[in-house]
């Protein structure tokens, strides 16, 4: 499983960090870039809950294979698009391919019997980040020296290999007692609903620094695709280091892990705004890996809130909430950027402390 996720991270790394630059090259303005990136995440948000529900009822390996296949197809669409509007089908399909994420989490949860999920989820996400350590720089070089289409074709090839690897995992049936499962309305129980509302605010504030960071570096700092891609590699290193550290925290440190993560993302935003050189940008990109650690911790903390037979449904609902926050943050960041390129990052500096306070209201937690 982690090898396939590692390869998927490598494929993503080839284009994700420089994709906003490509969209701009194809004629989109900052507001349109924000909406396009938001559209991709909206597609993911709409599919997470149904996929989580189905992962409790259908064989999980086959579900994952479908998501991997959609990723390959969408990347090929990116490669042949000649106008930003032609990217829309690919962005939607790529967003839909993310339906496999709650299925992966449900698969991993069943594999470890629901124990130590903070560590299990963190290792899985760290595998993804380790895969994307080198490849953002490689993707930037390919885009700069050959073409962006070549970077997309290379990514599709890596995704294809990842699909072959995931096809080798052991099949896993859904829970044996479907009659004990609750219906969709279980996500509206009071405790779980309070959890996802808090998560929505938390990740909206944290994500504001992400959508147009590449454009800011190009427009305000004069960096090219290779430099932006190199910073993407630095970001992956930061996430790959921070994820296992956060996932293995114990005692009081674990209880305060989300607060620590917020602090690190806040520092990342401050460095991004207040430093000019490559060193400051590199440190900022490294520290913002704490966002991924926060995401992993929230998934683990909320996975059991609907009970064992509905873990997939809970994970799907949490993934939906996180992505909806990214959709909103992408739109807000694009709108703010159109007024002033600094505003999305200044807004994050003001709002991340509010999100940190919201984390103190989050219930849940996995077994040791």
Token representation of residue 290: 């704490």
Q: What's the pLDDT score for residue 244?
A: 80
- CATH C-level class of 2-172+186-359: mainly alpha
Maximum alpha-carbon separation in the chain: 59
pLDDT in tens, 256-271: 888 999 999 999 999 9
Q: What share of the chain is helix, strand, coil (3-state, %, to 5)?
A: 80, 0, 20
How many residues does this entry show for the chain? 368
Token representation of residue 101: 């994420």
| CA dihedral over 106, 234, 20, 71, signed as positive or negative | negative
Please check the confidence at residue 334 and state whether its pLDDT lies above 60: yes
Angstrom distance (rounded) from CA 165 to CA 118: 25
Angstrom distance (rounded) from CA 11 to CA 317: 26
Q: What residue segments make up the domains of the chain, in order of their start?
A: 2-172+186-359
Token representation of residue 65: 């294979």
DSSP 8-state symbol, 22 = H
pLDDT in tens, 230-249: 887 888 888 888 878 887 77
Helices and strands in the chain: count of H runs, count of E runs: 18, 0
Are the C-beta atoms of residues 122 and 243 closer than 8 Å to each other?
A: yes
pLDDT in tens, 275-298: 887 888 999 999 988 998 888 888
Are the C-beta atoms of residues 211 and 334 closer than 8 Å to each other?
A: yes
pLDDT in tens, 176-203: 655 444 556 666 678 888 888 899 999 9
């Amino acid at each position: 499983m982690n090898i396939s996720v590692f390869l998927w991270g490598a494929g993503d790394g080839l284009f994700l960090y420089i994709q906003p630059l490509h969209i701009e090259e194809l004629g989109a303005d900052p507001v349109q870039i924000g909406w396009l990136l938001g559209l991709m995440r909206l597609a993911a948000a709409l599919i997470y809950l149904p996929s989580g529900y189905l992962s409790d009822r259908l064989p999980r390996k086959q579900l994952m294979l479908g998501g991997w296949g959609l990723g390959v197809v969408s990347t090929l669409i990116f490669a042949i698009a000649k106008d930003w509007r032609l990217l829309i089908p690919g962005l939607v399909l790529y967003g839909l391919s993310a339906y496999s994420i709650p299925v992966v989490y449900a698969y991993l949860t069943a594999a470890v019997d629901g124990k130590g999920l903070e560590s299990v989820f963190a290792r899985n996400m760290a595998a993804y980040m380790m895969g994307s350590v080198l490849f953002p720089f490689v993707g930037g070089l390919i885009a700069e020296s050959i073409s962006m289409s070549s970077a997309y074709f290379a990514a599709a090839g890596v995704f294809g290999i990842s699909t072959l690897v995931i096809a080798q995992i052991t099949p896993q049936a859904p829970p044996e007692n479907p009659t004990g499962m609750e219906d969709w309305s279980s996500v509206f129980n009071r405790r779980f609903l309070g959890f996802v509302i808090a998560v929505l605010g938390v990740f909206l504030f944290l994500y504001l620094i992400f959508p147009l960071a590449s454009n800011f570096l190009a427009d305000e700092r004069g960096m090219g695709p290779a430099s932006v891609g190199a910073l993407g590699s630095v970001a992956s290193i930061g996430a790959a280091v921070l994820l296992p550290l956060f996932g293995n925290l114990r005692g009081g440190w674990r209880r305060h892990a989300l607060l620590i993560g917020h602090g690190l993302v806040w520092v990342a935003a401050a460095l991004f705004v207040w430093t000019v050189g490559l060193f400051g940008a590199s440190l900022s990109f490294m520290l913002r890996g704490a966002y991924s650690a926060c995401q992993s911790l929230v998934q683990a903390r909320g996975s059991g809130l609907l009970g064992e037979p509905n873990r997939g449904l809970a994970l799907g609902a949490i993934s939906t909430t996180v992505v909806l926050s990214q959709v909103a943050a992408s739109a807000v960041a694009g709108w703010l950027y159109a007024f002033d390129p600094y505003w999305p990052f200044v807004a994050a500096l003001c709002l991340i402390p509010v999100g940190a306070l919201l984390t103190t209201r989050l219930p849940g937690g996995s077994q040791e």
